[in-house]
Amino acid sequence: MRLTPLAYLSSYVLSLLGNSIAAIALPLIVLQTTGSALGAGIVAAATAIPAVIAGLAMGVVIDRINRRTSSVITDLISAASIAALPIVDLISGLSIGWFVLFGIIGSLGDVPGMTARETLLPAVVRHSGVSAERLIGLREALGAVALLIGPAIAGVLITALDGSTVLWITAGTSFAAALITLLIPHRVGRIAEEPLDAPTVSSWGQLRDGWRALTSNRFLLAVTTISLLAVTVLAALQGLVLPVYFTVIEQPGLLGFVLSALAVGMLVGAGVFAALGQGVSRRIWFAVGMIGTTAGFALIAWLPSPAVVFAGAVVVGAASGVLNSVLGVLLIERIPDALRGRVLSSQNAIMTLAAPAGIMAAALLVEYATLELAAAVIASLWIVALIVGLASRSLRTLDAEPSNPEEVDPDAQQ
């Protein structure tokens, strides 16, 4: 494989691996430092809104500067915000205030970094000659590996290292991701220059243009709806319904295996798509992903036994691996390049709010109704996504020529 796609995939995996380690390690470190479960909740809540605002605002910036540069900068911000915590711990000790402060600073790199890397992907496809189906399938499969091994690495590091020392590892992965991204030629991330006579638009106007492009395009609106419901349902099941279920049956240690089952399924689904994606109609891939996800959520929400829950997680993972891959290919083709950063940043900002909203809804249902009803109601939300996916006219013809085709650079050697 050429250097450009290899560097892109390597930086993506390192960044995701660091995030998966931090997702396990950071709440535990906050808990160990403050001695309060409320402290971990305060840190999460205090950084959520800044992350959404930063994600939206940085979309405008990403559409203005070289996209390789924006990806490097956001990774460096993430690395610095995490590395600052063990430094402060050595100097004066940590408190909730420090976690909140550097969490807010890190929000300038997290959602924007995700957006920056996604906006760079079409250029990597165009300059490398690797098909979008293969590259995105490989990305999703490697991402599943990172999600599979990340929690295990976090567990080992927390056991072997003291306190906040483990955060040096997560900061190092973000820093390494930034360095590897620099291996991608600068010209790959270059954005098209606007004509000299183009009217000047304010930053607010540019942000509004990106939001309008997202909400007025039926295809993008349908895809965003599906993705929003997927994140909401999965977060609610994984973040509250299943923890309560495994606690009730007195087997809380099995909860971690759900994430492993999801990751294994994603690895299989995305791997199959990477190998066979170009040989099968995208509509078929899309239908398989939608129907498979429905079946998997139904198995999980049934809650008959841990074995069935694990099986449902594998099915959801495999179907999601296929669905995420085919939607990723379509988004490369259907989003105008000049608006890519703003459209994707709007999508990612919405997804950032979807997970806590799903968890809160599940918590209310469990508190005031029953666990079984909560599982059924949350899973039934996906029926809306299934109807949108299979009935929407904008998603019926997925193999047609894209409206803004991007040709492969035949002279690219990277």
Q: What is the CATH number of the domain that holds 229?
A: 1.20.1250.20
Asked if the structure places residue 218 within a domain, the reply is: yes
Asked if the structure places residue 403 within a domain, the reply is: no
| pLDDT tens across the length of the chain (414 residues) | 588 999 999 999 999 998 888 877 887 788 777 776 566 667 767 777 787 888 778 788 888 889 999 999 999 999 999 999 999 999 988 888 898 899 888 878 887 888 889 999 999 998 888 899 999 999 999 999 998 888 788 878 888 887 788 899 999 999 999 999 999 999 998 886 654 444 555 667 777 888 888 888 999 999 999 999 999 999 899 888 998 999 899 887 788 788 889 999 999 999 999 999 988 999 999 999 999 999 999 999 999 999 999 999 999 999 999 999 999 999 998 998 888 988 998 888 888 888 888 988 998 999 899 999 999 999 999 999 999 999 999 998 898 554 443 444 444 445
What span, in angstroms and rounded, lies between the C-alpha atoms of 191 and 139? 23
Shared domain check, 260 and 185: no
Shared domain check, 225 and 172: no
Shared domain check, 351 and 393: yes
Asked if the structure places residue 293 within a domain, the reply is: yes
What span, in angstroms and rounded, lies between the C-alpha atoms of 108 and 354? 19
Shared domain check, 219 and 184: no
Gyration radius (Cα) of the chain, Å: 21
Shared domain check, 176 and 34: yes
Asked if the structure places residue 391 within a domain, the reply is: yes
Shared domain check, 218 and 76: no
Shared domain check, 372 and 282: yes
Asked if the structure places residue 201 within a domain, the reply is: no
Shared domain check, 162 and 120: yes
Shared domain check, 178 and 223: no
Number of domains the chain is built from: 2
Q: Assess contact for 257 and 308: CB atoms under 8 A.
A: no
Find all residues with CB under 8 Å of 310, minimum gap 6, and list them.
257, 258, 261
The whole domain housing 241 covers: 214-398
The H-assigned helical ranges of 35-95 are: 37-62, 67-91
Shared domain check, 391 and 256: yes
Shared domain check, 169 and 88: yes
Asked if the structure places residue 411 within a domain, the reply is: no
Q: Please give the model's pTM, rounded to 2 decimal places.
A: 0.85
Secondary structure string (H, E, C) spanning 374-386? HHHHHHHHHHHHH
Shared domain check, 164 and 251: no
